[in-house]
Structure 1
Amino acid sequence: MSKRFNIRMAGVGGQGVVTASHILSTAVINAGGESTIVPFYGSEKRMAPVESYVRVSDEPIYEIGEITFPHIIIIFHPQVITHGKSYTMPFYFGLKEDGVALINHDGPMRLHKDQARELEERRAKLYYLPATKISLEVSGMDLATNMALMGAIGCITGLTTIEALEQAVKDRFLGKGFVVSGGTAALDSVVERKFKKKQELIEKNVAVIKAGWDFAAKNGWDEISKAAKKAEAAAAAAKA
């Protein structure tokens, strides 16, 4: 049984929405899957609306472009909902029935009655992840908020692993061509300091990813991936 998720990410400038989409896409590929991404944003400034469209699957993907009817939406900042800071409004526009809305917030938000009704009619699952709080507690900074969300979505979809996400973070921040050793006795001191800082940054981001993943698993949000695994097991048993 194939697994395929069209994911629409919405946030504001400065939160690393585009970076997060690249890391998720790379992580799915690292885990043996397929993925395409398309970022969309206007003025490059803090708090300006940003969206990114990510397709992930365990089978080939032939589409690229805006995602109008997502299986999953990820809301990086509450203002996407409360202030309409999104290019796609309402924030859940096009969400498929039984879809998932992963929202960065400390607890359930009070939605307009029409929004709550429409989401209920679609049987949408609203998952509230305190991503910014997790980032602050685990890494001491709020800049890893996007990593908490990527950890959670990795757990929810089951199309990647923590190890694959970690490698994606390394690829993003170190670059595949970054030389960590050579023929000389030691790295140049400037490069060495730069590398150490990046290593610390990677470690903090990975720790936040794990915390986001664990939060999702603890709350049973990985039911999608569990259901897919059960269906695969049943199909395999039927063939045997």
Structure 2
Amino acid sequence: MKKRINIRMSGLGGQGVVTSAHLMAMAAAHEGKFAISNPFFGAEKRMAPAESYVRIGEEKIYDRGELVFPHVVMVYHPQVITMGKSYTMPFYSGIKDGGLIIINDDIELLTEEEKEDLAKKKVTVYYVPATKIALELAGTELATNMGMLGALAGLTHAVTMDGLDKALQDRFGKKYVASGGTATLDEAIKKKFAKKEMLLQKNLETIRRTFDEAEVYAKKNPTFAVNVS
């Protein structure tokens, strides 16, 4: 059976969760893989719960909609965990055995019960201070999603840096047309920089930093591997 990885991204409105899913799917397509991304959210406003799903595989993918059994769960904001701002409770509900959780923070957020539950399923929990890195390298928290994508790619190799670079060029370097709140967010990001070239450079630097750090982690932990199927 050919491999496929299912990714659930959970965050709050305005964090670029929808954009992240689009970029992952576009990066996969550039590498000759099949991919489908779709968002899931209620009120389209900042700080409201938002989710996106990405399915990447070596064969055509026909199912879409809510992703119930992910290999990877990405948490873009601590409140997804600490305040239950998630459409699935607990936030890691349905994660497959041997899966991966990526959390945007540098402090422990899980309870002892949650850690025990995940340990039974042999799930790896990886913390990455994506917002801090985005502020350091890009000068804006709007690049947080880039840091999260870098960590995802570095840990799973679901896509490469080259694929992400091409996806960024497609999304921000050309006449990409988005709708609704996503379009508004894209415009806010573009206005943060004087030139699109600067936007692309800063986003790529953010992705590269977290990609490299995640890849080092994966190499230093030889038993780590996302159980894709």
What TM-score, normalized by structure 2, do the two folds share?
Answer: 0.85
Deviation at 1:171, TM superposition (A): 0.8
Q: What's 1:3 paired with?
A: 3
Contact 1:107 1:129 in 2 (8 A): no
Q: What's 2:171 paired with?
A: 172
- SS for the counterpart of 1:219 is helix
Deviation at 1:201, TM superposition (A): 0.8
2:203 corresponds to which of 194, 202, 205: 205
Segments of structure 1 that go 5 or more residues without pairing to the other structure are 179-192, 229-240
Letter in 1 for 2:57: S
Q: What's 1:131 paired with?
A: 130
Q: What's 1:224 paired with?
A: 225
- SS for the counterpart of 2:141 is coil
Q: What's 2:117 paired with?
A: 118
Provide the rounded CA distance (Å) in 2 between the counterparts of 1:80 and 1:177. 30
Contact 1:106 1:133 in 2 (8 A): no
Contact 1:9 1:76 in 2 (8 A): yes
- SS for the counterpart of 1:220 is helix
Q: What's 1:235 paired with?
A: none
Letter in 1 for 2:123: A
Q: What's 1:141 paired with?
A: 140
Q: Check 1:38–1:112 CA distance in 2 against 1; reply closer, same or farther (3 A cut).
A: same
Provide the rounded CA distance (Å) in 2 between the counterparts of 1:31 and 1:41. 29
Query: Which 4+ residue blocks in structure 1 deviate beyond 4 angstroms?
Result: 193-196
Percent of counterpart pairs with the same letter? 46
- SS for the counterpart of 2:52 is strand
Deviation at 1:173, TM superposition (A): 1.2
When the two chains are superposed, the root-mean-square deviation of aligned CA atoms in Å is 2.4
Deviation at 1:15, TM superposition (A): 0.4
Contact 2:5 2:158 in 1 (8 A): no
Q: Check 1:140–1:120 CA distance in 2 against 1; reply closer, same or farther (3 A cut).
A: same
Deviation at 1:177, TM superposition (A): 7.5
Provide the rounded CA distance (Å) in 2 between the counterparts of 1:84 and 1:37. 24
- SS for the counterpart of 1:40 is strand
The answer to whether the aligner puts 1:12 opposite 2:3 as a matched pair is: no
Contact 1:138 1:207 in 2 (8 A): yes
Contact 1:31 1:159 in 2 (8 A): no
Residues 96-141 of structure 1 show CA distances to partners (whole Å, capped at 9, x for unaligned) of: 11110011011332x2232222111111100001111111111121
Q: What's 1:65 paired with?
A: 65
Contact 1:101 1:126 in 2 (8 A): yes
Q: Check 1:58–1:158 CA distance in 2 against 1; reply closer, same or farther (3 A cut).
A: farther
Q: Check 1:52–1:130 CA distance in 2 against 1; reply closer, same or farther (3 A cut).
A: same
Q: What's 2:182 paired with?
A: none
Contact 2:170 2:176 in 1 (8 A): no
Residues 182-229 of structure 1 show CA distances to partners (whole Å, capped at 9, x for unaligned) of: xxxxxxxxxxx999611111111111111110110121279538x99x
Q: What's 1:158 paired with?
A: 157
Provide the rounded CA distance (Å) in 2 between the counterparts of 1:215 and 1:2. 28
What TM-score, normalized by structure 1, do the two folds share?
Answer: 0.81
